[in-house]
Amino acid sequence: MTSFKKALVIAIALPMALGSASALAFGGGNHHGGKGSCGMQDGRKVFSQLDLTDAQKEQMKSMREMNRDEMKSKRLEKHAEMKANHDKMQELVLASDFDENAVRDLAQQMSTAQVERRVAMLEKRHEVLNILTPEQKTQYQTLQAERAEKCQARMADRQK
């Protein structure tokens, strides 16, 4: 191998090796919290601890499938809306004069859309939790509180 080829291989391999090493030192490629994470998927673990009846499990499954189908149908619409908002932001930022009113209007539109998404999400969560019996709701609250404490402790450990 010529010295030029060796230098080229080293120039390509060295940044890749250093980048991989730093990624592994940071904790690998698991960006979703890994084992014992505090993410949204832990909600399913809580439900699995509630001793649900077969009817409750079936109701939750059908609700999940309905929500999944609804989200899929709205995905392209949401993506187009986000792209349009991004384009408007770029246009406003790159304009020769800053138009505060236009920026406020766009920010208000984006905030309203976010509020609507949050309301819809909480409405769906309410529907799911209404499947539970009062005893299961109490147990759910207890499990959620325990999970929150564990997550807080984990976050505090990360801050050290």
**Domains in the chain, please, with CATH?**
42-159 (1.20.120)
Beta carbons within 10 angstroms of residue 6's beta carbon: 10
Lowest mean pLDDT across 11-15, 58-62, 131-135: 11-15
Q: What is the pLDDT of residue 69?
A: 86
pTM assigned to the model:
0.61
Query: Nearest Cα to 84, choosing from 117, 112, 106?
Result: 106
> Phi/psi of residue 95, each to 5°?
-65, 155
Beta carbons within 10 angstroms of residue 47's beta carbon: 19
For the record, the structure tokens of 32 come out as 């979703």
Q: What is the pLDDT of residue 91?
A: 92
- Asked whether the predicted pLDDT for residue 82 surpasses 80, the reply is yes
For the record, the structure tokens of 143 come out as 């499990």
DSSP the chain: --HHHHHHHHHHHHHHHHHHHHHHHHTTT-TT--TT--STTHHHHHHHTS---HHHHHHHHHHHHHHHHHHHHHHHHHHHHHHHHHHHHHHHHHSSS--HHHHHHHHHHHHHHHHHHHHHHHHHHHHHHTTS-HHHHHHHHHHHHHHHHHHHHHHHHHH-
pLDDT band (50, 70, 90) for residue 54: very high
pLDDT band (50, 70, 90) for residue 20: low
The C-alpha atoms of residue 120 and residue 134 are separated, in whole angstroms, by 23
- Tokens 């940071």 sit on residue: 26
pLDDT band (50, 70, 90) for residue 87: very high
